[in-house]
């Protein structure tokens, strides 16, 4: 990843956070950027943000972000019709910014348990380590499993295993969690 790309991601993040604060939107960073707080940091090509994104508030937020230089990725929306009610992709200077609405009780809990972490240019609300592991396990891609393992290894005994196990069972990802715990 080039320095220019990294700088553009930082700029997109700054603009996004300012827009979310102005609109008083409760959010938390998930995905690779949140990984930098709890696991082995890795390069990322996009920004992933979890929030409640519904109704008129959604429309108002999207308009406010468009006023800050973001644009709707209509091509992405056309290719993802099954999730476009719960997931919006914006672009800022070519940087994909995924705004994901809560889909289940765990997602809602992630927003309650989020943590303020100094990442990059500004302090951000980030999914806690247990919730980031669970988010990654729900996604289930090989990279997500590697990311989860890096959080488990880095956080070790600081993880709330009772919480992790309870939600992993509820979400149907307990086998995956057990496997990662055995190989950490």
Q: What is the mean pLDDT of the chain?
A: 93
Domain residues for 133? 3-182
List own/partner pairs for 5-11 with CB under 8 A and 24 or more apart: 8/92, 8/93, 8/94, 8/95, 9/44, 9/47, 9/95, 10/120, 10/121, 11/92, 11/93
By percentage, how much of the chain surpasses pLDDT 70? Answer: 98
Provide the domain count of the chain: 1
Query: pLDDT tens digits for 108-129?
Result: 999 999 999 987 667 899 999 9
Predicted pLDDT at 121 = 65
Question: What CATH number has the domain bearing residue 31?
Answer: 3.30.460.40
Predicted pLDDT at 43 = 85
Distance CA 136, CA 152 (A): 12
Query: pLDDT tens digits for 139-163?
Result: 999 999 999 999 999 999 999 999 9
pTM of the shown model: 0.92
């Amino acid at each position: 990843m080039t320095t220019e790309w990294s700088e553009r991601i930082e700029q997109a993040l700054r603009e996004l956070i300012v827009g979310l604060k102005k609109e008083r939107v409760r959010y938390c960073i998930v995905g690779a950027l949140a990984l930098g707080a709890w696991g082995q940091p890795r390069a990322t090509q996009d920004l992933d943000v979890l929030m409640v994104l519904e109704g008129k508030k959604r429309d108002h937020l999207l308009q406010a972000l468009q006023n800050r230089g973001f644009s709707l990725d209509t091509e992405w929306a056309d290719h993802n019709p099954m999730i476009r009610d719960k997931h919006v992709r914006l672009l800022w200077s070519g940087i994909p910014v995924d705004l994901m609405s809560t889909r289940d009780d765990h997602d809602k809990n992630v927003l309650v348990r989020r943590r303020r972490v100094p990442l990059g240019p500004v302090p951000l609300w980030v999914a806690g380590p247990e919730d980031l592991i669970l988010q990654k396990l729900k996604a289930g891609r090989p990279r997500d499993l590697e990311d989860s393992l890096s959080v488990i290894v880095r956080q070790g005994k600081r993880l709330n295993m009772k919480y992790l196990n309870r939600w992993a069972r509820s979400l149907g990802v307990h086998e995956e969690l057990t496997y990662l715990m055995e190989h950490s």
